[in-house]
Amino acid sequence: MRGRPTFVIGCVLVAVVFVVALGSLIWLPYDPADTSGGRLVPPGGAHLLGTDKLGRDLLTQLMVGARIALTVGVGSVLLGGALGVAGGLLAGFATRWLDDLLSAALDILIAFPTLLLAMLVVAAREASLGSAVLAIGLAMSGIVARLTRVLVKRVLAQDYITAARTSGASWPRVVAEHVLPNIWPTLLVNLALQLGLAVLAEAALSYLGLGPPPPNASWGRLLQEAQATVLTAPTGAIAPGVLLVVLVVGVNLVADGFRDLADPTRRRSR
């Protein structure tokens, strides 16, 4: 851990958001729907960060929002990561025509606007947290799959794969022993980036009204609602924005740190 201040900073940042999200499960300053505090109360006193234009406590909203942000981020990364890695492995190992077919399908999926995908999912289901995770996860899977495919192909071209095959290792064994260990560090960094993007995408969806409906106050919805009053009550826009940055930066630093820890050439070089 020594000599890796960025990793430590990343852990702290992520931990802050986690603690806030978990904390919201046991304790909240106010009920999220409580509008008794009066509109646009400035920070301080009974309302640490003030209230919004409906009179709800901002700190409460942010704490609930942290939970939503993490749910969406982690949920869509799990979904998109699982689908993407599976698809990418398949394409990476596939024979020529199947690879071409899968690659074409991935290109279409990636070219498909996330927003349109989200609208389709919302139309088929309803505007909910689950729909947001599903839409974002699906959109993400294409990008993850394409990256996985390239990484797998690169590893498969190495002589140590041939060596493993000529020593009798089955393909599943080759994947477990050589392919996954060599691709996951790069994948992890990309997934961290995707987690950040997913949180931002959820904010965008909520902003457009396609996200989880009120009273689920996601950070994106808070930003949207604070937009009209950003000049008179800036905290409402700044606070969710800062938390968004904290989470995204934190996750990326943690992922970079993990990658370095996993890489023997970097680990021993210090």
Partner 1 sequence: MPVLAAREVGFAYRGGPAVLEEVSVAVTAGRSLALVGESGAGKTTLLRLLLGLARPTSGQVLFDGAELAPRDPAFLRAVQPVFQDPYSSLDPRQRVGRIVSEPLRSMGLLAPGSRAAKRAEAAERVAEALDSVGLPADAARRYPHEFSGGQRQRIAIARAIVCRPRVLLADEPVSALDVSTRVRVVELLGTLGASHGLTVVVVSHDLSVVAALCAETAVIEHGRVVEQGRTADVLGSPAHPYTRRLIESVPRLSRAARLR
* Interface residues toward partner 1, by CB under 8 A: 158-160, 162-169, 173, 177-178, 181-182, 262-265, 268
In the complex, the smallest distance separating the C-beta of residue 80 from partner 1, rounded to whole angstroms, is 25
Name the residue with tokens 């995707």.
Answer: 194
For residue 51, report the phi and psi dihedrals to the nearest 5 degrees. -125, 165
Among residues 2 and 268, whose Cβ is nearest to partner 1? 268
Query: How far is it, in rounded angstroms, from Cα 266 to Cα 269?
Result: 5
Query: How far is it, in rounded angstroms, from Cα 80 to Cα 149?
Result: 14
In the complex, the smallest distance separating the C-beta of residue 177 from partner 1, rounded to whole angstroms, is 8
Among residues 5 and 160, whose Cβ is nearest to partner 1? 160
In the complex, the smallest distance separating the C-beta of residue 148 from partner 1, rounded to whole angstroms, is 17
In the complex, the smallest distance separating the C-beta of residue 268 from partner 1, rounded to whole angstroms, is 7
Helix, strand and coil content of the chain, in percent to the nearest 5, comes to: 75, 0, 25
Among residues 131 and 148, whose Cβ is nearest to partner 1? 148
Q: How many CB atoms lie within 10 A of CB 29?
A: 16
Among residues 75 and 92, whose Cβ is nearest to partner 1? 92
- Contact in structure between 220 and 129 (CB atoms under 8 Å): no
